[in-house]
């Protein structure tokens, strides 16, 4: 394999993700629905498709940076591009739901409801991207110190012969200052 072929292969592999054909199919269907049934949303549709195109272009530019061995720039641009694509898809789905389907049902919710739900969807997208990047969000523990019976607290804190809340050493500026005084 020549160096040029390897270079192009790196750009393509990094600039393409497996769900891109599905994303494009969803965008085409949602755009056609919005274009046909909501003529007042065509300007918003145009802007959303521009964001999507910048996201797709950003993926291939990130592949170019990856091929040139600028891995940090490539990974940042890749994440930003995937977020832009996801945000565009969420925006299109929200527009179709609120301006096409609810309009067909003769329901006209306030526009602020559309914006609030889209913000929640964007937040969900950020959480998914953070999870894919390796950030494990802690799950809420049903048995935390101070709830349940004494056996539950001891089982979760590890039995030390003392109460679980008495085994913790307080840390703060005042305790550190006292420790420095004791060492002197």
User: Are 14 and 78 a contacting pair, CB within 8 Å?
Assistant: yes
Q: Is residue 70 part of a domain?
A: yes
Domain count, the chain: 1
pLDDT at 75 over 50: yes
- In angstroms, the first-to-last Cα distance of the chain is 68
pLDDT of residue 139: 66
**Secondary structure (DSSP) of 125-154:** HHHHHHHHTT--PPPPPSS-TTSS-HHHHH
The band of 168, judged by pLDDT with boundaries at 50, 70 and 90, is very low
- The 10s digit of each residue's pLDDT in 94-127 is 999 999 999 899 898 898 999 999 999 999 999 9
Q: What is the pLDDT of residue 9?
A: 82
In a domain, 58, yes or no: yes
* 136, two tokens: 């494990």
Provide the phi-psi class of 119: left if phi over 0, else alpha when psi is between -120 and 50, else beta.
Answer: alpha
Question: What would the two tokens of residue 106 be?
Answer: 């003769």
Chain center to CA of 36? 31
- Residues 3-54: tens digit of each pLDDT: 778 888 878 877 777 788 898 999 999 999 999 998 898 999 999 999 999 9
**Helix, strand, coil shares, percent, the chain, to 5:** 75, 0, 25
Quick check: is 162 in a domain? Answer: no
* Assigned domain for 126 exists: yes
Q: Tell me the range of 129-133, 145-149, 175-179 where mean pLDDT is highest.
A: 129-133
> Residues 24, 86: contact at Cβ < 8 Å?
no
In a domain, 138, yes or no: no
* pLDDT at 63 > cutoff 70: yes
Residue 141 lies in a domain: no
The per-residue pLDDT for 148 is 52
Domain holding 77, by residue range, is: 3-132
Whether 178 is covered by a domain: the verdict is no
Would 72 be classed as within a structural domain?
Answer: yes
Q: Of all helices (H) and strands (E), which one includes residue 57?
A: helix 42-67
Confidence at residue 46, expressed as pLDDT on a 0 to 100 scale: 95
Q: What is the phi/psi pair of residue 70, to 5°?
A: -100, 75
**Phi/psi at 10 (nearest 5 deg)?**
-65, -45
C-alpha distances in Å from residue 42, one per residue of 33, 37, 95, 119 = 11, 10, 10, 21
pTM attached to this predicted model: 0.70
């Amino acid at each position: 394999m020549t160096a040029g072929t390897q270079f192009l292969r790196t750009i393509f592999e990094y600039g393409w993700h497996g769900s891109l054909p599905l994303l494009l199919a969803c965008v085409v269907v949602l755009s056609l629905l919005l274009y046909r049934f909501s003529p007042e949303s065509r300007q918003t549709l145009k802007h959303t498709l521009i964001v999507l195109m910048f996201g797709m272009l950003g993926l291939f530019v990130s592949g170019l940076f990856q091929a040139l061995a600028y891995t940090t720039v490539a990974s940042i641009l890749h994440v930003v591009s995937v977020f832009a694509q996801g945000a565009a898809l969420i925006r299109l789905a929200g527009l179709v739901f609120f301006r096409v389907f609810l309009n067909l049902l003769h329901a006209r919710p306030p526009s602020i409801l559309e914006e609030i739900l889209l913000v929640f969807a964007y937040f969900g997208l950020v959480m998914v991207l953070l999870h894919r990047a390796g950030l494990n969000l802690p799950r809420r523990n049903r048995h935390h110190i101070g709830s349940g019976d004494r056996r539950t607290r001891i089982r979760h804190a590890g039995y030390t012969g003392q109460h679980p809340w008495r085994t913790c050493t307080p840390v703060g500026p005042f305790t550190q200052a006292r420790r420095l005084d004791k060492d002197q």
